[in-house]
Chain A
């Protein structure tokens, strides 16, 4: 057992390192001073002083495997191209100009085939592949565009040459997998090499965020960065207060490099205590406030319990340990790997799917994180106890558990803005190593791990169990996931606040949040009910059968696997429509009133007649909503029958047809003359 890997109220007590006792005491005093209803974040026990365990050895012995880097020939040109590129492509994934118009196309290859990932009959679309400074773009013969951001590319693989060309498989961090067939091997080799270079940057400054330009001026950009204000958030929680104060101990990142400058600690914790505690903790990550649970009844309890805490500062009798087995980042990485291998299989059987799901362990890990968060929430709400959460370093599992626990406790975090705050607080500011975990730069592949993805998945599971408790929808989670890897915005670059400041991200890049907020209509949950107070603390059910495979995440881009009509979209559109209709009713009513008045006055202006005419364009649009707002749905309907070749799901039911007999009409032909 490795206690340091688990969530526990204080550091493990069993050790007998006498020389360290003082530091320990300081740390303990610390943990106990935190009042109930308060959680702390910390690094783990004294790994700095401890003899490194076998895992640490592994970590030390790691050879940084770097792929041989191929220097780009015309670096200068690239620099210019990159600077021009970004506005062509997405504003928080928006529209794009044609790449050629933007003048950023590096090269293009024609007659490239895009294979359907799951087709057993090797269906494909033919089109042209373009490489721009920031994206790989495929435009098929129906003018449908597939954009792949270079930073999203997790791996590029060149398979053995076939008769139809050279296959190139690209796997992306957002779980898109594309399989191209390039007619000429030389072209394929060039694409392969270019993508290898472009997808792995050596320095931060080469990442998309540093060239991305959404056409905002400096003050707009700065405002964007100020949108999420953590000081404001602590104020909302109710700190500083009589027990907690803002400490300036880490003002210059002297005590802990991976913590933010501003930290909340118990009033009683003097600077020497903090320093002592930080020496005792891995990476100097001494216990600090993560979330203060404000509840009238609880607060009273908290004060009392806190008093007790001081009396007992020399023993641990009022501290309970709870170890929850959340595995380390390496286990999580290989678990996801296995999961993706299984669900990427063509012609997957139900049994292989479930045995793969089981052996990957993925849902087991998700459940473990969820269980830990529930334990934490219960300790605070039911037992009125404070909780100290830590793992080995306190930036992976600790972030997962603290943020998820806060989400269960506080309905604010279930709003769009609140969720941004939560991520800023528990993940970004407390030093979750986004750049290492997401592999933003060409670094140690062993540092990559889907820790944040797991957090998003846990949140998704909560939205499934409590469909009305969250202001945002699945789309919001997917979009955030997209951007932790996109390197398009500065928020997730770097591994801690100190590094972010050094990179001058606030001056050189944009924050994601204002863009998401601006687009928030897209991410609203139409069933959200903010009024219901019953949802104050969520108590999810974690019996195994509640955990399902998140198809919309791991098969986000595999359209054939998804329902063809989205209830969610329809309800969302209907909500919007209802708002419009309400406005129309008000409008109409006032016009009727106006007209009635005018009638009595006997005055009638032509202008008015025109403006209230029932056929007036404004009214028309609102009443023709069926055609307009439900468009996405209609679009889905239109494609049901497989009018587009990309969509002919029906050809996958039987291999019998692919092993076709000459006398049988071929399927593609069958499509062409489908009605007679």
Chain B
């Protein structure tokens, strides 16, 4: 990739440059393919031209929305740029920062890890040879890869399969080196294991295991248990059964709702995701997340943490990209997990509503922050439907490798190409959306986590009045936009009349 492609914000105005022995200069900052340029753009133009290759290190600081980047150059010079606007500042910083990450094509034939995509992001200092070695030490060849980079502080979420330590505590130097390569000097990280300690210990007998503190001294391990497989499937079956029986009296309904444990799973998953987000944003620590295979609960946590942390993942395109990245490319076995749903009698152990639970968690966050998402509930329901049965190729197969073999790109249509048509998109757009650049912390108290009626009571009661109320809400918002537009037109008209008058008056 050319450097020019990395430039997100090529120009920022009102930047103040501080240099030793010179008065501060205010001007426009430009990034080009080779230089960082600051120009006062006045008669006695003062300009700073700095080669990107001269940058040795950068620091960034924020006071309110004013960001400061301190650039330390290879010739020992240190300069400071005050940039108004957090977003601009972060973009500039990430453009000129020398990246610690690289794209690796080690898996381009799907040979190293059959469930990974051909291209993955890994630490720059780890070569493909080392990756191959690490792959042999991780379940399913799923070596740690980058899942999310938190621009604000450079912390990352990585995910992987469990380490294959076995009963005799096997270790892998390359694995230790790889994950340590993601830590900044003197920093510690967290490993979030989505199994209970007990389950993780038992996994050793089957060749799996977890990272021993002794071998990963810079990492602290946290166990956050999330249920898997048949337990989740049974939970779904029980829940749907409870919702379908309209004869239940109140006690029976509540006890069946409780016994399904569905909302317990929701709470567990959300809690783990919040914990991950908290490590990144509040503790300023990088994290590695894995369970056993790294294809289910791991992905729930990594994707939900991004919903919490990253505003873009709350937009329609961003969410689509998140699903593409964290679910499809990351090798969640949709074909297996979504083979059957709640009514089928032949229960296969690989069936599990992992993706539905993820969608439910997103819905819970959406309910708590109804204006922070560009999409609405219908978008989530649509994704649920297509994950289980679809005329599009998007959710077919269990991973990228299978999808390549099936030649889905040539033979089927993509769900996204259909959804992204303006006519379709309007059904899924949240009229209340107003971009919110903050981290959003959901409540995980049971009182805050209701049943997702849009999915589970959808066919059990009429939603006519609720739908009508929703329409009315949309109407009010549309009307508001109309009125605003009209006011603006009238204002302009009035202003024009005034200038006309003014001209008439003073010839």
Contacts and interface: CB of A to CB of B under 8 A. Distances in A.
Interface of A: 118, 343, 348-355, 357-358, 361, 363-364, 367, 465-469, 526-527, 529, 541, 543-549, 551, 555, 560-567, 570-571, 574-575, 577-578, 581-582, 584-585, 588-589, 591-592, 595-596, 598-599, 602, 604, 609, 612-614, 619, 622-623, 633, 637, 640-642, 649-654, 656-657, 661, 663-665, 667, 670-671, 674-676
A36 to B, nearest CB: 29
A667 B282 contact: yes
B481 to A, nearest CB: 10
13 contacts: A118-B445, A350-B266, A465-B465, A541-B462, A543-B461, A545-B253, A545-B461, A567-B371, A577-B480, A585-B490, A592-B490, A654-B278, A670-B284
Given A529-B472, A650-B282, 17 more contacts: A350-B449, A355-B255, A364-B249, A468-B472, A543-B460, A544-B252, A548-B450, A555-B447, A567-B473, A574-B476, A577-B480, A588-B490, A591-B494, A633-B371, A641-B438, A649-B443, A676-B60
Contacts of B261: 350-351
Nearest to A567: B370
A653 B271 contact: yes
A642 B254 contact: no
A527 B444 contact: no
A348 B267 CA distance: 11
A527 B480 contact: no
B479 interface: yes
The CB with the most chain B CB atoms within 10 A, among A355, A609, A614, is that of A614
B483 A585 contact: yes
Interface in B360-375: 367-372
Contacts of A667: 282-283
The CB with the most chain A CB atoms within 10 A, among B248, B271, B444, B490, is that of B490
Nearest to A563: B368
B489 to A, nearest CB: 9
A350 B267 contact: yes
Contacts of A676: 60-62, 153, 284
Nearest to B277: A650
Interface stretch (B201-209, B225-233, B495-503): B495-503
Given A354-B254, A614-B491, A565 B282 contact: no
Contacts of A566: 370
Contacts of B480: 574, 577-578, 581
Contacts of A649: 441, 443
A551 B275 contact: no
B289 interface: no
A561 B249 contact: no
B447 A551 contact: yes
B176 interface: no
B483 A546 contact: no
A504 B75 CA distance: 89
B367 A571 contact: no
Given A527-B472, A551-B448, A565 B370 contact: yes
Contacts of B258: 350-351, 354-355, 358
B412 interface: no
A386 to B, nearest CB: 29
A430 B505 CA distance: 74
Interface in B106-144: none
Contact of B494 (A466, A529, A592): A592
B25 interface: no
B251 interface: yes
Interface of B: 60-62, 152-153, 188, 220, 222, 224, 243, 246, 248-255, 257-258, 261, 263-264, 266-267, 271, 274-275, 277-278, 281-284, 367-372, 432, 436, 438-441, 443-451, 457, 460-462, 465-466, 468-469, 472-473, 476-477, 479-480, 483-484, 486-487, 490-491, 493-495, 497-498, 500-501, 504-505
B408 to A, nearest CB: 38
The binding surface of chain A is classed by DSSP as: helix
A674 B473 CA distance: 37
The CB with the most chain A CB atoms within 10 A, among B220, B263, B469, B504, is that of B469
Contact of A570 (B257, B368, B432, B440): B432
Nearest to B250: A364
A351 B257 CA distance: 9
Contact of B498 (A469, A546, A563, A609): A609
Contacts of B283: 657, 664-665, 667, 670
A410 B452 CA distance: 32
B371 A565 contact: yes
A640 B498 contact: no
Given A544-B249, A614-B494, A661 B220 contact: yes
A455 to B, nearest CB: 18
A468 to B, nearest CB: 5
Given A364-B249, A675-B152, A348 B255 contact: no
B438 A599 contact: no
Contacts of B490: 585, 588-589, 592
B340 to A, nearest CB: 24
The CB with the most chain A CB atoms within 10 A, among B243, B261, B264, B278, is that of B278
Given A468-B468, A527-B472, A354 B369 contact: no
B121 to A, nearest CB: 24
A614 B498 CA distance: 10
Contacts of A367: 250
A349 B457 CA distance: 23
B62 to A, nearest CB: 4
A653 B477 contact: no
Nearest to B479: A578
The CB with the most chain A CB atoms within 10 A, among B258, B439, B495, is that of B258
A574 B476 CA distance: 7
Contacts of B494: 588, 591-592, 595, 612, 614
B465 A350 contact: no
A319 to B, nearest CB: 28
B441 A675 contact: no
Contacts of A352: 446
Contacts of A363: 250, 254
Contacts of B153: 675-676
A657 B224 CA distance: 13
Nearest to B60: A676
Contacts of A529: 472
Contacts of A570: 371, 432
Contact of A349 (B188, B446, B504): B446
Contacts of A656: 222, 275
A259 to B, nearest CB: 34
